[in-house]
Amino acid sequence: MAVISTPATLERAVPVMDNAEVLRIRNDFPVLNQVVNGQPLVYLDSGATSQNPVSVIEAEQEFYEQRNAAVHRGAHHLAVEATEVFEDARQTIADFIGADYAETIWTSNATEGLNLLSYALSNAGLWAAQGRGDQALRGLALRPGDEIVVTEMEHHANLIPWQELAFRTGATLRYIPIADDGSLRMDQAGAIVGPRTKVLAFTHASNVLGIINPVKELTDLGHAAGALVVLDACQSAPHLSLDVKELDVDFAVFSGHKMLAPTGIGVLYGRQELLDILPPFLTGGSMITTVTMERAEYLPAPQRFEAGTQRISQAVAMAAAANYLTETGLDRIHVWEAGLGQRMVAGLEAIPGVRVLGPAAGKERIGLAAFDVEGVHAHDVGQFLDSRGIAVRVGHHCAQPLHRRLGLTATTRASAYLYNTTDDVDRFLEAVAGVRAYFRA
């Protein structure tokens, strides 16, 4: 979808989830049915890593029990079957984000996807300098005087690779600042993104602020400047209906472990015409057409960027996770999580001494909330909640510049998913309300 619908709009279009359905969903997740420190586990750390339903666990196990073999390399029965389920998984993920099959690259995670892209752009400059590649490739090369633009709210994974690309190429890194409420200063974005901009990279939804950025507006701004647009979809792909073609981005990344899949698997989406001219990042077997002792020629995407033995079982399991989310209904999940997010923010804002980052209650956000408790360090808050069976994230959440801009070094973050109930949120709020008294803050 080109524009993310508000929860109110979605509620009129999809059947609304309720606690009874969520409790049935929770039964699909074995790890959630346990006691921690004498209390039933409340898992509110899905923004870091989500849990796995039985169908995902069984998909990976079934691959190892029935089809374990190297893909693309053997003519025997197991190798053929392994290749089929591996490539079927790619098609499933492509459909999940509205991409084409060959535009879907397997990576270890989103971080690797962003590094892959930044080094491929580096290599474009090296190839161009040696007269290798065509005019289209030379147009992707970054040079001194060019600019890369990010935002002040980026996760380090969507900041440091661009810092290093600027260092390697002589380009300049710039950023769109945030306002005090965490929203992007779109009034300044037009003066920052301009004729020198070669890359515009930004997060779809902030892992700290919970804010959903205006993707189409930013994409139009980037393309008007002739820039490549890169979307960090780590906090959106698991929670929102995502169509990369409608959003009109050139590249997008997301990780499996945030969307019910195992760790060690992620995806880089890229427009076919761009992927086929970009130089590869990793080189070796399975991504070549011809090799001599002097040089090599490379396959088109997706194999162009998939050197060596791939993450086969994890890819199969990630497809199972995408199917689970699709069958549940991403629009329905979004509405439910948005309601949990509003419940969290409203409850936190009502607790004296608690400061919530990002949009205030009543304004759109994904189902997470990062907050600061006056006089109590975030790590102490997290340990206090853990003593009551509540799992949250503490620290700077790989977003130090954002925290510094907001005058903080660390926060506590609660993030919900489709298996969380309103009772989970209420237990969390009741515990947070007791933090300052416990620490005598």
Active site residue ranges: 398
Q: Which of 344, 409, 424 is nearest to 379 (CA)?
A: 409
270's enclosing H/E stretch is: strand 266-270
Question: Facing residues of 413 across strands?
Answer: 370, 393
Distance CA 202, CA 162 (A): 11
- For the chain, the farthest-separated pair of C-alpha atoms sits apart, in whole angstroms, at 71
Distance CA 248, CA 58 (A): 35
Distance CA 119, CA 161 (A): 8
Q: Yes or no: say if 84 and 92 are a contact pair by the CB < 8 Å rule.
A: no
Q: Yes or no: say if 369 and 341 are a contact pair by the CB < 8 Å rule.
A: yes
3-class state of residue 377 by DSSP: coil
3-class state of residue 88 by DSSP: helix
Q: Yes or no: say if 281 and 107 are a contact pair by the CB < 8 Å rule.
A: no
Q: Which of 146, 149, 116 is nearest to 219 (CA)?
A: 149
Distance CA 303, CA 87 (A): 11
Q: Which of 142, 281, 137 is nearest to 201 (CA)?
A: 142
C-alpha separations of 164 from 156, 281, 325, 397 in Å: 12, 15, 35, 21
Q: Yes or no: say if 123 and 279 are a contact pair by the CB < 8 Å rule.
A: yes
